[in-house]
Amino acid sequence: MVPVSTPQQTLNRLTAIVLIQWMGATLGLPLLALFLEHRGGSPHIIGLIVASFFIAGVVTQYFLGHLADRFGRRPILVTSLIVYGLASMTYALPLTAVWFTLTRALQGASAGALEVASMSAVASLFPEHQRGTAVSRILAAQLVGAAIGPLAGVVASVDNLGEVFFLTGVVSLVAAVVAFRTNLGDAVYDPTPLPRLRWSRPFVGVLVAAAATGLVVGVYETCWSLLMHAHHATQLQIRLSWTMFCVPWVVLSRAGGWIADHLNRRVTALLGLLNAAAFLVTYPHIHNNVVMLFVGSAESLGASLSSPSIASLLSQGAHDRELSRRQGLYATSTTASMAISAICSGFLFTVNTALPFTLAAILAATLALTTLYFWRGVHGRIAPPAPPG
């Protein structure tokens, strides 16, 4: 039996689930390396454990999207929350560090499934001229969770981190119950074969945009704190830099959704990608850390106003039973390029602190400009349907 909930009720529940999941995922991250070290993990083992989260996402996201299109989004979302919850509980077990490679891999695959199912559900439930606003809620929830998680984690110590993760696992299981009772746009199971995934220039252009975004984020993942430390930033300034990036995004998320629904998505998406590349290349040349904080907030303005447009272009014109596969490929493109960028940036930073920022900015801008080809002829403005009669 398919649960009954209005699209708005579903959006509200998914927003809460995504926020809680991202908050739980980041709650103990500042202390995770120390926790693993206390469990006997060497730097190489810790690196493998951290990387397993992203590797699992890259490997499984399209496959899970295929399953969601084939069997429905609700079973995938519920299963992912249960697996994530049980995996989180293993931190409370007296295991050596190497065993947590499996834990992080399961968490990475589950987090990827949650993103694929929730974003494709929104695309299914809301018409194209309203998707930007709806998607912006999910994107904002991700960022709020990622911002709150580390701050809430100050109550944790290395000694009780296992119990904290266990608690987040319990919350994930509760979220699975909520998801089970939520309509995610799935009809009664359809045994007919899935329609073929329709490859087109606009779709490829969105995957290219995802790769450009991943390149930029990968540099920040590896080198941002290192760069600020090289500029003699305090720990407080480094923490504040992440917060000051998140706040404008959350505040302006609705505006970004409105822009995606009312203005030209192609133009907005391209400007957002070029905005990210332009700011990325400037950071190594700013040696005032207070200025760095405010410049980061300025970059966030462009990201918050453009991200819903990119997400909306992903589902534009797609068949309902290919939405999850599209989302899976989008997430794969982002995660893979982010992982490659993060790995390469660490080495390049040791050569020259500006090199990873400059090189990634050039590559990201080049990829962004190719969307002029891929998105030519695409309807950037989506008009609401004419009233009947």
Residues near 8 by Cβ (< 8 Å), separated by ≥ 6? none
CATH architecture assigned to 7-180:
Up-down Bundle (1.20)
Q: What are phi and psi of 41, to 5 degrees?
A: -80, 130
Kindly state which CATH superfamily the domain 201-374 is placed in. Answer: MFS general substrate transporter like domains (1.20.1250.20)
Residue with tokens 């990608």: 273
Tell me the percentage of the chain whose pLDDT exceeds 90: 49
**pLDDT reported for residue 189:** 65
User: Mean pLDDT of all residues in the chain?
Assistant: 88
- Token pair in block for residue 374: 């891929």
* pLDDT number for residue 152: 66
Where b means 16+ CB within 10 Å and e means fewer, 194-225 reads eeebeeeebbbbbbbbbbbbbbbbbbbbbbbb
Domain ranges of the chain: 7-180, 201-374
Q: Could you tell me if residue 186 is left (phi over 0), alpha (psi between -120 and 50 degrees) or otherwise beta?
A: beta
Is the pLDDT at 156 greater than 70, yes or no? no
pLDDT for residue 188: 61
Neighbours of 297 (CB within 10 A): 17
Q: Quick check: 133 and 386 in contact, CB under 8 A?
A: no
SS3 category, 158: coil
Please give the Cα distance from 50 to 222 (Å, whole number).
12
165-174, 205-214, 316-325 — most confident range: 205-214
Instruction: Extract the tokens encoding 360.
Output: 């990634």
C-alpha closest to that of 310 among 202, 186, 209: 209
Amino acid, res. 186:
D
Q: Between the ranges 20-24, 214-218, 276-280, where is the mean pLDDT highest?
A: 276-280
Type of residue found at 282: T
Q: Which two tokens stand for residue 223?
A: 């080198």
Common-topology check for domains 7-180 and 201-374: yes
